[in-house]
Amino acid sequence: MSTGNPARQRIELPGISSRAYEHPADRTALTALRSVRGFDEMLKWLSGLLRERSHRLMYLASTVRVDEQQFPDVHALVVDGGRILDLAALPETFVVLDPMPRAMTLGMDQPFLVLTSGLVEMLDSEELRFVIGHELGHILSGHAVYRTMLSHLLALSRRVFWLPIGYLGLRTLLAALEEWYRKSELSCDRAGLLAGQDPAAALRAQMKMAGGGEIGEMDITAFLEQAREYDATGSLRDGVVKLLNLEGQRHPLAAVRAAELRAWVDSGDYQRILDGDYPRRSDDGQASARADARDAAASYRQKIDESADALTKLLRGIGEEVVAAGVRIADRVRDDRPPPD
């Protein structure tokens, strides 16, 4: 990890709810599922199914655990990010020998972070602060259960591909979950920015993840222009190609992802949160899935209206239907609940 900007005071965000930074489509799915009776029980069941403790012990035995003695600079970034986002408990963090720059959050009951040596070596401290904040955002949002669900469904899809009807239905569900997964990554990019509070460092980190560590050979303005050019490729044929390219993708495309974060900053939402105008965790129980669904639908409409892509405009209603489906399922489950004694 190379040296970044000198340490500076950052604004703490006491009691911040993940709803403050979640992409509307991500927030709708989370709010809907949290309102379903038995959600916590399902979370615990999945945690047991994955043998989470043995997974963590494997990392403990085969990688380097981050603390005050080992990778102390990385440890300081985790502590600082947890302080800013007001996490109830700091996750354990491990560095694994791997030249590919990657970071991941594993576990549901006691989530922990895994950073590759390639990531730590490639990013400066402010860029790494953004990536660590991104992973802390996954913890605050509780994304693990959905990611686990998607992994199980992907495994299932490989077994039932020969059943045309069942497979097509499963592929539709997988496409919706992959769309959610991509939006959850956009959410946590915002969390990473809130933890680091350095938009330039966040965009540099995303650019390096796309093109490597030779920062002198790249330019943020030109990188963002790639996303504009990608969206402006407006023929119907190119739109179909773009859609096919997203199949199986669980992360947003790199340049588009950076442009999404820049747009969020430009919208004023980032500064409003820093100014203290954000939802608190204490109010999460009163969150409305229907209101979040309306926000998500409006977000899709705005994105479509702003896009120059022909196919995006043709498929205008699909995104709205995806985000509304979760709300309908939650309503059905609540309606089927037995009355209280």
Cα separation, 282 vs 291, whole angstroms:
18
In this structure, which amino acid lies at residue 59?
Y
Phi-psi domain of 279 (left: phi exceeds 0; alpha: psi -120 through 50; beta: other) = beta
Question: Mapped to the 3 state alphabet, what secondary structure does the chain carry?
Answer: CECCCCCCCCCCCCCECHHHCCCHHHHHHHHHHHCCCCHHHHHHHHHHHCCHHHHHHHHHHHCEECCCCCCHHHHHHHHHHHHHCCCCCCCEEEEECCCCCCEEEECCCCCEEEEEHHHHHHCEHHHHHHHHHHHHHHHHHCCHHHHHHHHHHHHHHHHCCCCHHHHHHHHHHHHHHHHHHHHHHHHHHHHHHHHHCCHHHHHHHHHHHHHCCCHHHCCHHHHHHHHHHHHHCCCHHHHHHHHHHHCCCCCCCHHHHHHHHHHHHHHCHHHHHHCCCCCEHHHHHHCCHHHHHHHHHHHHHHHHHHCCCHHHHHCHHHHHHHHHHHHHHHHHHHHCCCCCC
Which residues, 6 or more positions from 84, have their beta carbon under 8 angstroms from its beta carbon? 10, 11, 12, 13, 133, 194, 195, 197
Catalytic residue among 135, 179, 185, 320: 135
* Structure-block tokens of residue 266: 């430009």
**Residue 179 bears catalytic tag:** no
Q: Catalytic residue numbers? A: 135
